[in-house]
Amino acid sequence: MEEVERVKPRTMGRFVASQVALFGASAQHGLPQLEAAARSGGSVEMESFFSRLSLDIIGKAVFNYDFDSLTHDDPVIKEDLLCGQYLVPAGSNLFISVYNLQRSPQLWDEPDAFKPERFGPLDGPSPSEANTDFRYLPFGGGRRKCVGDQFAIMECTVALAVLLRRYDFKPDPSKPPVGVTTGATIHTSAGLHMLVNNRDMSGVPPPLPRSAGAPADSLTTGCPHAAEAAAVAAGPSAACPMGGA
């Protein structure tokens, strides 16, 4: 503990210094635009400036990737475009309603029904814009597609696997209806209140042995969380660090 206290201030100092360097370098990329405006007396749309700056910082900090959107304006519509019968003039902002696209009865059978098999075999590839001919766009598509898509899919698959093997969830009828509202993203209007019950695991067969080409060790070698991952893969047990029954 004493050791931690001794190391902490130095570690924090280095962390803060690296953040300041990163944020500062990214912000400096916007200076030419501001200097030009200061010289000419023109105005700058600062909301867009800060949005681009934060995108550049996230790209650099999380992925070591240079979006450089502060210096590279990249309008999607560069010249007049005929989209079916519609003329889209160069420089337009084009918004696509992903919600309407993904719930269109012209594109999907029973669009509001929960039918994951509509995307093909359940053990097949995850649905994406590429294998649904751009009818399903959870992460957008093209050059500005979400760079965190695989991270997000893995994150929710693992979290759901850990929770659903232990518990059944049902809507709590005593709470207000879930409802839907929109802001930057779509979310519930009154929360998602669920009743949680331990699952009856008595009929569940034990996990299959992993000898056929995918031993747990080979999946986790080198990972600092190897022991936890192997315990989670093996299912709930007294030894499970994730708190299995």
Binding site for ligand HEM (CB under 6 A): 55, 58-59, 62, 67, 138-141, 144-148, 151-152
Q: Which helix (H) or strand (E) holds 195?
A: strand 194-198
Q: End-to-end CA distance of the chain: give it in Å, rounded.
A: 32
Nearest distance, CB of residue 140 and ligand HEM, angstroms:
2
50, 145, 174 from 40: Cα distances, Å: 21, 35, 62
Nearest distance, CB of residue 59 and ligand HEM, angstroms:
6
Nearer of residues 101 and 230 to ligand HEM, judged by Cβ: 101
Nearer of residues 183 and 243 to ligand HEM, judged by Cβ: 183
**Rounded Cα distance, 203 and 233, in Å:** 18
The partner residues of 167 in beta bridges, in order of sequence, read 198
Nearest distance, CB of residue 23 and ligand HEM, angstroms:
16
Nearer of residues 102 and 210 to ligand HEM, judged by Cβ: 102
Nearer of residues 50 and 215 to ligand HEM, judged by Cβ: 50
Nearest distance, CB of residue 92 and ligand HEM, angstroms:
15
Q: Are 199 and 168 in contact (CB under 8 A)?
A: yes
Q: Are 77 and 90 in contact (CB under 8 A)?
A: yes
The residue count for the chain: 245
Tokens 């590839």, residue located: 125
The answer to the question of whether 146 is labelled as a binding residue is yes
Residues of the binding site: 146
Residues of the binding site for heme: 146
